[in-house]
Amino acid sequence: MALDPDMWLGCFEDGKLVGVLVGTHESRKGWLNRLAVLPEHQGKGFGKAMVLEMERRLRAKGLGIFAVLIEDGHDASLRLFKEAGYEEHEGMHYLRKRDSPDI
Ligand SMILES: CC(C)(COP(=O)(O)OP(=O)(O)OC[C@H]1O[C@@H](n2cnc3c(N)ncnc32)[C@H](O)[C@@H]1OP(=O)(O)O)[C@@H](O)C(=O)NCCC(=O)NCCS
């Protein structure tokens, strides 16, 4: 499987990687995954900037629906995405299957 470099975002300060975001899509809906900013660099706008840049890249590929899964307790992330216009989707179940408890 070929990786699409457009879908891998990093933000840098003084040449050091301080934040990441990985996008994926299946041609209809874009997913924003693995958003994280190093604790000492949080609150400077990196997270929001990466979300908006990933949306821009997904739009450029023709996608107009964006989605994210946020675990309970990740309040900063929840607030960031709500401020960026994301809404909670009622009537959806999150299911998963693991081949091993270690992965
Ligand atoms: C979520 C995370 C990526 C935000 O990154 P960040 O660079 O600090 O975010 P920004 O500075 O761009 O802030 C954007 C918005 O996020 C929200 N936010 C950021 N930090 C927050 C905090 N500590 N508490 C509450 N809201 C917060 C605010 O709404 C903020 O908007 P504002 O500055 O206008 O108030 C970062 O907190 C993080 O890495 N958390 C741990 C990993 C994680 O939860 N990842 C998300 C998985 S879905």
Domain count, the chain: 1
Residue among 95, 103, 7 nearest 50 (CA) = 7
52 pLDDT higher than 90: yes
Which pLDDT belongs to residue 26? Answer: 94
Kindly give the number of the ligand 1 atom that is closest to the alpha carbon of 43. 11
- Enumerate residues lining ligand 1, CB below 6 A: 35-37, 42-48, 68, 70, 74-77, 79-80, 83
Q: Is residue 96 part of a domain?
A: no
Mean of pLDDT over the chain: 96
CATH number assigned to the domain comprising residue 13:
3.40.630.30
Which pLDDT belongs to residue 60? Answer: 97
Domain range for residue 50?
5-83
Sheet containing strand 16-25, edge to edge, reads: 8-13, 16-25, 29-37, 65-67
Which pLDDT belongs to residue 2? Answer: 81
What average pLDDT does this structure show over 89-98? Answer: 94
